[in-house]
Amino acid sequence: MEILNFIVPFIILLTVVVFVHEYGHYYFAKRYGVGVTDFSIGFGKELFGFNDKSGTRWKFCAIPLGGYVKFFGDRNVFSQAEQKELLKQYSENDQDKLFVTKPLYQRSLIVLAGPLANFLLAILIFMFIYMSIGKDFTPAQINEVQEDSPAYSAGIKSGDVIISINNKDVSSILEVSAFINTSPTEDINIKVQRNGENIDFVVIPKLIKSEDSLGNKINKKIIGIKISPLNNELQKEKLGPAKATYYAIKETWFVTQASLDFVISMFKGKGDTTQLGGPIKIAKITGQVAQHGVIAFLSIMAYISISLGFINLFPIPMLDGGHLMFYAFEKILGRPLSQKTQEGFFRIGLFLLVFLMLFTTVNDLKDLGLF
């Protein structure tokens, strides 16, 4: 039964974020008159489904690790170079339903709509949390600086109030650790308020092996400080719609930017690749978080939704970003790339995705202590 505590929340989370992603594609496809034959959650054998009035088959399949929307007449998902040969197979009425006959901007929006839907889901979840539960605005006061620590060496003192990290305003005590650990640079700029004066410090954190609040092993950056609420008073505020929207967009942008910084650091050989996880690790964390209640579960859903949207924008064929890359070439060249060229890119994309899947699976198994 214990394994169900991980699998069930994971399937629910994945179903929601995948459905929202694919519905983004579906909505704009229907809006621009593209025929949709299949809307699938999962891959492989169909478990159950139904046909709607327009002829779309909505279905759940056996392998719940993704999904897809299949367009009428599409053999190559989104990018199709053999337009003339394809058009000969259909009547004029049916040609209007084909994805490849649509203007470039419409095809681009249909593809882009999937990742954008994931970002929108995250924003809506954060808004709901901030409006119903509230957002923390407790200032971060340093109440202890460990001797011989990076913070001590830099000149930070007990009683300082952290107001920004790497030029990002710290509006909550909860943001300090997040800003430090997602910093893409080796040194961190920390601005504090001391006796009414703002002072800047440059701190080089230490990397240590630690555990997160759920007991998972992580590599963590520390600077040797302990923080507490200013005047020992917690400040949590339920936000109105406008303010909740602002902070929801801000949080979504922060997570997206931190993800991009992490990817860039990996290409530079500085990123911690041991932190990359696949479905097993996501299922484990989702199950752990779900035990802390609905709000915690919604929060992890928002972060996974951002990750799904972000990853799908990678310029890798087979992902949405890869198709957008093809459309960029089409715009520049004035014609689609040849079928042979596209197939070559798709082979490269398949290799990269399989490699990434194997790499993250090994990390997941290491995390479980099986390696």
pLDDT surpassing 60 at residue 78: no
Lowest average pLDDT, out of 128-137, 138-147, 221-230, 289-298, goes to: 221-230
Whether 121 and 212 map to the same domain: the answer is no
> What would the pLDDT profile of 200-214 be if each residue is shown by its tens digit?
989 888 887 776 666
Q: Which residue has the higher pLDDT, 14 or 186?
A: 14
Of the three residues 184, 210, 237, the one that is the final residue of a domain is 237
pLDDT surpassing 80 at residue 89: no
pLDDT value for 82 = 58
**Mean pLDDT for the chain overall:** 85
Of the three residues 219, 237, 255, the one that is the final residue of a domain is 237
> What would the pLDDT profile of 333-353 be if each residue is shown by its tens digit?
988 888 788 888 888 888 888
Q: Which residue has the higher pLDDT, 131 or 136?
A: 131
**Residue from 2, 22, 85, 251 carrying the catalytic annotation:** 22
Looking at 187-299, which runs of residues are DSSP E strands?
Answer: 188-194, 197-203, 206-211, 217-222, 225-229, 236-237
pLDDT value for 211 = 67
Whether 97 and 216 map to the same domain: the answer is no
Whether 114 and 162 map to the same domain: the answer is no
The answer for residues whose C-beta is within 8 angstroms of residue 22's C-beta and 6 or more apart is 39, 40, 41, 67, 68, 69, 114
Cross-strand bridge partners of residue 363:
none
Whether 94 and 117 map to the same domain: the answer is yes
Whether residue 298 is contained in a domain is answered as: no
pLDDT value for 80 = 54
Give Cα separations from 152 to 79, 178, 203, 220 (angstroms): 56, 20, 9, 18
Range 142-147 average pLDDT? 88
pLDDT value for 118 = 97
> What would the pLDDT profile of 316-326 be if each residue is shown by its tens digit?
888 899 999 99
Whether 111 and 198 map to the same domain: the answer is no
Whether 146 and 93 map to the same domain: the answer is no
Whether residue 141 is contained in a domain is answered as: yes
Q: Which residue has the higher pLDDT, 57 or 186?
A: 57
Whether 109 and 226 map to the same domain: the answer is no
Question: Does residue 278 contact residue 286 with C-beta atoms inside 8 Å?
Answer: no
Residue 175 annotated in active site: no
Query: By C-alpha distance, which of 219, 221, 210, 214 is closest to 272?
Result: 219
pLDDT value for 79 = 45
Question: Does residue 80 contact residue 86 with C-beta atoms inside 8 Å?
Answer: yes
Q: Which residue has the higher pLDDT, 5 or 302?
A: 302
The answer for residues whose C-beta is within 8 angstroms of residue 267's C-beta and 6 or more apart is none
Domain of 162: which CATH number? 2.30.42.10
Residues of the chain with pLDDT > 90, as a percent, come to 37
Whether 166 and 211 map to the same domain: the answer is yes
Whether residue 261 is contained in a domain is answered as: no
CB atoms under 10 Å from CB of 160, counted, come to 24
Whether residue 268 is contained in a domain is answered as: no
> What would the pLDDT profile of 234-244 be if each residue is shown by its tens digit?
788 899 999 99
Structural domain count of the chain: 2
Q: Which residues of 10-41 are buried (b: 16+ CB within 10 A; e: fewer)?
A: bbebbebbbbbbbbbbbebbeeeebbbbbbbb
Range of the domain at 232: 135-237
Whether residue 282 is contained in a domain is answered as: no
Of the three residues 205, 237, 269, the one that is the final residue of a domain is 237
Whether residue 275 is contained in a domain is answered as: no
Whether 124 and 148 map to the same domain: the answer is no
Name the range with the highest mean pLDDT among 120-124, 171-175, 202-206, 287-291: 120-124
CA dist., res. 133 & res. 121, Å (int): 18
Whether residue 288 is contained in a domain is answered as: no
| Confidence tier at 215 by pLDDT (50, 70, 90) | low
Whether 77 and 156 map to the same domain: the answer is no
Question: Does residue 145 contact residue 225 with C-beta atoms inside 8 Å?
Answer: yes
Whether 146 and 167 map to the same domain: the answer is yes
Burial class (CB in 10 A: 0-12, 13-18, 19+), 348: middle
The answer for residues whose C-beta is within 8 angstroms of residue 294's C-beta and 6 or more apart is none
Burial class (CB in 10 A: 0-12, 13-18, 19+), 320: buried
Q: Which residue has the higher pLDDT, 15 or 266?
A: 15
Whether 8 and 124 map to the same domain: the answer is yes
Whether residue 312 is contained in a domain is answered as: yes
pLDDT value for 216 = 66
